Amino acid sequence: MAIPLLLILLSSLGYCEGVSYLYDHVYNMVSTVDFAHTVPQARINTPVPVKLTLAITRVLKVDSENQELVADGVLSMRWSDFRLAWEPWVSTDVTTIVWPKADSFWTPDIVVVNGQGSQYDASPETSSVRFDRTGNVTWTRRLRMRVPCDVGTGNLINSDVTCVIRLASWAHDGTSVSLITAERGVNLTDYWADSRYDVTGAGVTKSSQEYDCCAAPFDVISFSVVVGNRAK
C-alpha cells in the first residue's frame, strides 16, 4: 500500500477529519484478506456488470503473411462495488478517490482471448483505480494487442483487412461477471494521425463461450476493426 503518497495528496488539498476517517475506513477494508478476491455481487446470483471501452491509439503493423494485427490501445473498465460507497456526511469535500494500487481491490481479469502475445503495459500492483462516493470504479489500462486478421486471398496493399479483438474474463463466467460495452464500438478519438494505416471501420458484438471446464458460459466482447494501408 502506498500510504504516504495518498496521505500527502489528501493533506495538500486541505481536507480534514472526514477525509481521514474516510481514508482509514477504505484502507482498513482493502487490507482484509478476502477483499480483493471477492467479486462485489450486491445480490447472490446477480452478476456484476463490467462496461468495457476499447480505444485504438495506433496500428503498428498488419502482417499479411501471418494474418496478424499489432496495435496499441487503452482498455477502460467500469463497474460498481457497493463496498466502496460512502455517505456524503462522511466528507462533503471528497467525491472521488484515486487509489495508487489496483491490486488492493477486486478488479476484472479481462484478457485478449484470441491474442497470443497481447499484454498490458503495467501490472495491477503499479496501476491506479478511481472510485466515487456511489461505489462506481474506473480502471484504465494500456495494452499492446496481437490478434488474427481475415486477409483472405488479397493483401493489405490492394484491400482492407478485418481484425477482431476478443475480450473476456479469465476466471469469471457470466453468472458472476456480465460484460457490456458502448454501442459505438472501438473508440478512435485518440488514434495516431501519423500512422501508416487507416482504420476505416469498427464494430462490436457480444457473445458467449462455453468451456469443458466450467458449467456456465463466459461473456465475450468482440471488437472488430477494418484496417487499410494509406500508401495503397
Q: How far apart, in whole angstroms, are the C-alpha atoms of residue 222 and residue 113?
A: 10
Q: Give the DSSP H/E element, type plus range, for residue 21.
A: helix 17-30
- pLDDT of residue 2 exceeding 50, the answer is no
- pLDDT of residue 227 exceeding 70, the answer is yes
Q: Amino acid identity, residue 138?
A: T
pLDDT of 3 reads: 37
Q: How far apart, in whole angstroms, are the C-alpha atoms of residue 29 and residue 83?
A: 9
Q: Amino acid identity, residue 143?
A: L
pLDDT tens digits for range 42-91: 888 899 999 999 999 999 988 877 888 899 999 999 999 999 988 776 66
Q: How far apart, in whole angstroms, are the C-alpha atoms of residue 35 and residue 211?
A: 28
Q: Amino acid identity, residue 156?
A: L
Contact call for residues 106 and 35 (beta carbons, < 8 A): yes
Domains of the chain plus CATH, in order, are 3-229 (2.70.170.10)
- Which three cell numbers mark 188? 478512435
Other beta carbons within 10 angstroms of residue 25's beta carbon come to 13
- Which three cell numbers mark 99? 487509489
Contact call for residues 21 and 47 (beta carbons, < 8 A): no
pLDDT of 9 reads: 40
CA 110 to chain centre: 7
Q: How far apart, in whole angstroms, are the C-alpha atoms of residue 187 and residue 193?
A: 14
Q: How far is CA 144 from CA 45, 73, 91, 119, 186, in A?
A: 34, 6, 39, 6, 15
Higher pLDDT, 160 or 179: 179
pLDDT tens digits for range 160-176: 889 999 999 999 999 99
pLDDT tens digits for range 134-153: 999 999 999 999 998 876 65
Its pTM stands at 0.83
Give backbone dihedrals phi and psi of 17, rounded to 5 degrees, phi first.
-60, -40
